Structure 1
Amino acid sequence: GDGPCVNVEEVGLPDKKRARKDGDAVGVALNGDSGRGSDGMDAPVKERFRCWMVKTDGEVRVDGVTEEDKRVDDWLVDAEKRIQETLDNAGEKFREIRRWEENFLAPECRQALRKKTVEVPRSVAFIRRRGTAPDKKVEEALVEESKEDKAPDGKLQGELTVAMEGALVEGERRKALNLSGKLLLAPLTTLGNLPYRRICKSMGADITCGEMALGLNILQGQNSEWALMRRHEDEDIFGVQIAGNAPEIMTRAAEVVAKECKVDFIDLNCGCPIDLLCNKGSGCALMDRLKKLKPMVEGISSVVDCPVSVKMRIGKTENTPNAHAIISQLRSWGASWVTVHGRSKTQRYSRKADWEYISGPCLTAARDSGIPIVGNGDIYNWEDVVRRREQENCPDAFMVARGALIKPWIFREIKEQRHWDISSSERLDIYKDFAKKGLEHWGADNIGVEKTRKFFLEWLSFLYRYIPVGLLETVPITMN
């Protein structure tokens, strides 16, 4: 670039003027003439002020630096620290601006996650208690265990054992969550963002849940994954959903989330039908891998103080449903409730949800084992809920997904038991409200505007399917 060189004695940090050179060496002007450099040529700097930054085997050193220029070496050594300080300061300002939002990851925790030094004593205790070592790939992804976790003889220390025993006492410490008659908003990937959840909350949703987050990405401290944990103060009952295929990773991820975030429950994803996830053993694939699912539920429920729920489908195919067999065991594994989507993995979102299976074998298994059950699938009108509530075999609560994407006021319709013939101007006000909430959440700069526009267009792919009640020949209409 062009421009004068900066005196190190005046500023304390070098304004590096780089010029291409063979190899990895890069010229740096520390002082001297304010001449103009050109692409491919060295800047005209006096020899006694010239030095080179050389990168060898991933390490950066400075050749030609004198004793008087040690501040340059200090700057190089502290570069990572300075960058982290800048990020931390930006994070503090971000949290101060968004005082109405919660669950910001602390900078020290993010750094510990990325360095694999975060402390997860309950998870360590559970994994050792199982007596099975994870495979090498899983071990590389896991956080490092502290030396203090082991006593000299290799056994668990007393306080760690006490913590583990206390974690297994289900009824004494776990906060109960009354689901009876509640309306839950499903965890919707991409679409279930914070501004949209605020819209649904204002329309009558009782319980909200964040988008699906991957356990491994959580442990790696990825900002994109931790952003899914964000919660608004309007969400009085809020949970997060995590997905993964390794009990060791999921257990540790759940403990970190419960410790760093304010959540009312943690949901385990066993219902995602996407091949990208299932082929790796996550999502719906866990329903056929009980040897993985059991320690996963046991581990998560052992390391967190909030309720743990499991969301699943009826099975891999509609002809071979096995959800009822899993439901009968979930309570003994530590789950607080189960949500069943009335479709199989192969069905994805096609054809009708099998509510006969939900209110039949699934509900019977839930009642016999004493675990609450939430029904999900094809809830598009208030009649869909009221009709099932009037039946003898009725789920404890209902979860709404696509119905809330097409018309987010469905929660109010269910509670008031009437069709809300909403006008176009009222719908436009809802869209304006989303835009306002989106700019509050993502920011009013170019990036924030682009994100708000992107997620609104995603939502619009469902909103356009709404048909005003006044245009219908008969009501209610079905989703499929």
Structure 2
Amino acid sequence: MESETTSTKPVEATAALVDSSGEPPLKKAKLEQSAKSDTPGRIKGIAQVKAEYLIASAPRRQADDENPDNLAEAEGQGEGEANGKKKKKDNKNKGQNTARKFARSKDAKGLCGTRALRPEFSPDECHFGEKCKFEHDLRLYLKEHKRDDLTTLGGLCPVWDAKGQCFAGWKCRFVGSHMAERETDDGRKELVLVEDEDRKRKARPLVAHATEEGIANNVPIEVKSALSKKKVPMPRSDAILTWLNKTSKELENSIHGRAMDDVDLTPEDRLNLDRERVEENRAQFTEPPFLPSEKRRIYFGPETPALAPLTTQGNLPFRRLCTELGAQFTYSEMAMSMPLLNGSKSEWALLRAHESEMTPPTVNSSRDDIVQGYDNSKDLKFGAQIAANKPFQALKVTEALSAYCPSLRVIDLNCGCPIDLVYREGAGSALLDHASKLEKILRGMNSVSKEIPITVKIRMGTKDNSPNAQKLVERFILGGYEANVLQAGPPGVAAITLHGRSRQQRYTRQADWEYISETAALIKRLNEKANTVADTIREPDERYLPNGGRVYFLGNGDCYSHEEYNDHIQHAGVDTVMLARGALIKPWLFEEIQAGQYLDKSASERLTLVEKFTKYGLETWGSDEHGIGTTRRFLLEWLNFTHRYVPVGLLEYLPPNLNDRPPAWRGRNELETLMASDNYKDWIKITEMFLGPVQEGFKFEPKHKSNSYEAEG
């Protein structure tokens, strides 16, 4: 989409309305008929709503030149360079989240942890005694310091309902549903927490490595503490880093130490000569272990749509909801390497997964493109994504993940994040301009990840009109010049994901699926290895080929319907499609893909999904005051996307386009109109249906009322 265009006037196909100035509305949009649609009357950039649902007069939702997805990225640039204009420096706080205000959700006076899960008369010993700043009198806490119980969700604690016990104990905002008063032997009445053994038995984890809450990859606090103190040994990373450093020096000597007589040699003779020089000092280093061919096999196909790694919104409750709706592969939110190495609790929490993500994806076993040796029963739906700017960071984090998060399908390296905060540190999309360094990082990650395959997500390039993704793809599959000199083989990535935009472009135009299609054809030729590479001496050794010699390719960008999904599979040549903003706006997109048809979800059905997210959020973050505040925060961020959904029953033309914006419209009932509101105060009203009234002092005032936070890693 060249630019986002909105209107508050009705759009009629039979007659052009005029405004007070005498000019026809949407003139520019009408001149730009959609090139990818043969439907006469369809206007590019406009989601044309049926006339009976249009509102004749309403305030503009946002300026024509404002793209909410780009505004999100601009929020994190730190020094206000979103529009290419430098702002004057000031003394205000800068950073990614300074414009976002969140109140602290807490009780007037907290209950001491020694009482939180214990009966009234049997507390644990408090080591602080009278100096403890928390309340020890349980009845006084419940009466004066704790907010009243919630009556939403039927007044039943969703955690207790699902697990048979509530891990928030007396701090739970639904504690009345799982507490009782019993009489003791001495005649006193004691408050106790009630547990349901039948529910506990049904809620037992179904997968290995899962906690009793049904969470996998839950790294112990002792490990995080040891990481922060640099006491966790990384023997594989240390060995590979030593090998990589030595091979780099050998390579530098072989290239820069050439005699003048070498200039006239053919490329093949020069490569052989370089190899001979390296072989002379081969005894100085050892071959890297854990060859890519020895790793676990994976599979991507038309029946395995993937959910993209989503910053802030790709949290566990949302992934759990998408998995329930048909997502066959999910990623963690992008985790930064240095915080992981420093034992950051919040960063390691990004890698936790629900037990539903530990199940195998649905695979059509009759397909002929499933690689030999693939075992679906041992496959998973969840993978981790990390970002790093130096080899030692990526290698050490990969080794730590393989040791402490065994329930991972893949470890993905993010090379597409466009946020300046990441880009300026040399991570994310900055790696696209450093092919040799990127190859070195991927090869090292493969060497230390044990049986976990390594994948990579990239963009077309960093600058518009200068894509270099295809050169990188060839390097990923065949290896660069350095790899051939050292005879180390290609880096061994098992899958490549390409987002059809450049870093500079952000979301200002539609994703370039033509470029994605060309890249898919290139990968197919490289996978076949049937005399398609002119330089035959570069054909890779099978020992260094991942996944039985098959590198899968995923396309990403602007997929918003099953029709677009199938078109990308059939005509673009990708193995599957990664869904990002489309899944945020309508997570039942996965259901549509499975059913092969549009699903006109009613407002009550969509509200049911909001209720499910709320329950999953409370199960994840707790049903106490803090957990409710956290759930409300992430629910509001999700509603920031869902309000953009226009029901298919209201549209004049199908398929809907992700980047189209509708004129002002009303729903088929009041609830549908409420859920389509772009006013953040209405989003808060929706959260109050399930989480009760907001706490005094709560603020959710985005700089742009339709602000969409950074969506894709």
Bin the TM-score by the shorter chain: 0.7 to 0.9
Displacement of 1:121? 1.3
Whole-angstrom distance in 2 between the partners of 1:255 and 1:396: 29
The TM-score, its normalising length taken from structure 2, stands at 0.49
In structure 2, the CA distance between the partners of 1:438 and 1:13, relative to structure 1 (3 Å rule), is: closer
Asked whether the 8 Å contact 1:328–1:368 carries over to 2, the reply is no
> Which residue does the alignment assign to 1:7?
none
**Residue pair 1:197, 1:208 contacting (<8 A) in 2 also:** yes
Counterpart for residue 376 of structure 1: 556
The answer to whether the 8 A contact 1:413-1:420 is kept is yes
| 2:409 paired residue number | 264
By how many angstroms is 1:290 displaced? Answer: 1.6
> Structure 1 CA distance, aligned partners of 2:656 and 2:388?
37
Cα displacement (A) at 1:166:
3.3
Choose which of 561, 568, 577 in structure 2 pairs with 1:398.
577
Q: Is residue 2:593 matched to residue 1:435?
A: no
Among candidates 367, 370, 378, match of residue 524 of structure 2: 367
- Paired AA for residue 463 in structure 2: T
Q: Report if the CA contact (8 A) 2:521-2:573 is conserved.
A: no
5 Å-filtered alignment, 1:8-407, equals 98-131=212-245, 165-167=288-290, 169-172=291-294, 174-181=295-302, 182-235=304-357, 236=359, 237-261=381-405, 262-304=407-449, 305-331=451-477, 332-360=490-518, 362-370=519-527, 371-391=551-571, 393-407=572-586
Q: What letter corresponds to residue 297 of structure 2 in structure 1?
A: A
CA distance in 2, matches of 1:356, 1:198: 32
Cα RMSD (Å): 2.2
Is the 1:113–1:220 Cα contact (8 Å) retained in structure 2? yes
State the number of aligned residues.
363
| Offset at residue 177 of structure 1 (A) | 0.6
CA deviation profile, 1:418-475 (whole Å, cap 9, x unmatched): 0000001100100000000000000000110000000000000100000011110011
Query: What's the offset of the Cα at 1:210?
Result: 0.5
After superposition, give the CA deviation of every residue in 1:231-276 in whole Å (9 maximum; x if it has no partner): 1110031001000101111110011011101211001000001111
> What secondary structure sits across from 1:342 in the alignment?
strand
Give the Cα–Cα distance (whole angstroms) in 2 for the partners of residues 108 and 479 of structure 1.
45
The 3-state SS of whatever aligns with 1:338 is: strand
What is the aligned-residue identity percentage? 42
Higher helix proportion: 1
4+ runs deviating over 6 angstroms: 11-18
- Per-residue CA deviations over 1:307-327 (Å, capped at 9, x if unaligned) read 111001111123000000000
Distance in 1 (alpha carbons) for counterparts of 2:211 and 2:404: 20
* Aligned 8 A contact 2:520 2:553 in 1: yes
Matched, 1:460 2:639: yes
Distance in 2 separating the partners of 1:474 and 1:337: 36
Distance 2:393 2:127 in 1: 42
CA contact (8 A) 2:495 2:552 kept: yes
The separation in 1 between residues aligned to 2:313 and 2:434, in whole angstroms, is: 29
Contact 1:325 1:365 in 2 (8 A): no
Counterpart amino acid of 1:384? E
Q: Is the 8 A contact 1:378 1:479 kept in 2?
A: yes
Superimposed CA distance per residue, residues 135-167 of structure 1 (whole angstroms, 9 cap, x where no aligned partner): xxxxxxxxxxxxxxxxxxxxxxxxx96xx7431
Q: Which structure: greater strand fraction? A: 1
Q: Supply the AA of the counterpart residue of 1:369.
A: L
Displacement of 1:110 in angstroms is: 1.5
Conserved? CA contact 1:375–1:397, under 8 Å: yes
Q: Amino acid of the residue matched to residue 344 of structure 1?
A: S
> CA separation in 1, counterparts of 2:573 and 2:210?
45
With over 3 angstroms needed to count, the CA separation of the structure-2 counterparts of 1:233 and 1:318, relative to structure 1, is same
Deviation (angstroms), 1:207:
0.3
Q: Does 1:416 align with 2:595?
A: yes
Please state whether the residue corresponding to 1:411 is helix, strand or coil: helix
SS at match of 1:390: helix
- Whole-angstrom CA distance in 2 between matches of 1:460 and 1:17: 44
Q: Residues 12 and 203 from structure 1, CA distance in 2 versus in 1: closer, same or farther, beyond 3 angstroms?
A: closer
TM-score of the pair, normalised by structure 1? 0.72
Distance in 1 between residues matched to 2:332 and 2:619, nearest whole Å: 18
Contact (CA 8 Å) 2:314, 2:333: kept in 1 or not?
yes
Deviations 1:267-307 (A, max 9, x none): 10000011111011010010001232111111111101211
Give the AA of the match of 2:596: Q
CA distance 1:108–1:469, change in 2 (3 Å): same
Give ranges in structure 1 of 5+ residues lacking alignment. 1-10, 19-94, 135-159
Could you give the per-residue CA deviations for residues 15-35 of structure 1, whole angstroms, max 9, x where no partner exists? Answer: 6989xxxxxxxxxxxxxxxxx
Deviation (angstroms), 1:97? 7.2
**Structure 2 counterpart of 1:270, one-letter code:** C
- The structure, 1 or 2, with the larger RCO (C-alpha pairs under 8 Å, 6+ apart) is 2
Q: One-letter code of the match for 1:378?
A: D
**Pairwise CA distance, 1:365:** 2.7
SS in 2 for 1:367: helix
SS at the partner of 2:501?
coil
Residues 192-215 of structure 1: CA deviation (Å, up to 9, x unaligned): 000000110111100011000001
Residues 375 and 399, structure 1, Cα contact 8 Å, conserved in 2? yes
CA distance in 1, matches of 2:639, 2:520: 35
Greater displacement, 363-372 / 304-313: 363-372
Contact 2:568/2:577 (<8 A) preserved: no
Could you tell me how far 1:368 is from its partner in structure 2? 3.0
Q: Which moved more, 1:287-296 or 1:447-456?
A: 287-296
Could you list the runs of 5+ residues in structure 2 that have no partner in the other structure? 1-124, 133-208, 249-284, 360-380, 478-489, 528-550, 660-713
Q: Which string of whole-angstrom CA distances, capped at 9 and with x for unpartnered residues, describes residues 382-438 of structure 1?
A: 1101122232x4101110000000000001101211000000110010000000000
Cα distance in 1 between the residues matched to 2:126 and 2:429: 57
User: Aligned with 2:332: secondary structure?
Assistant: strand
SS in 2 for 1:166: coil
What amino acid does structure 1 have at the position aligned with 2:448? V
Amino acid at match of 1:242: I
> Could you say which residue in structure 1 is the equivalent of 2:625?
446
**Is contact 1:406–1:465 with CA below 8 Å preserved after alignment?**
yes
Offset, 1:226: 0.3
Cα distance 1:17–1:230, how it changes in 2: closer, same or farther (>3 A)? closer
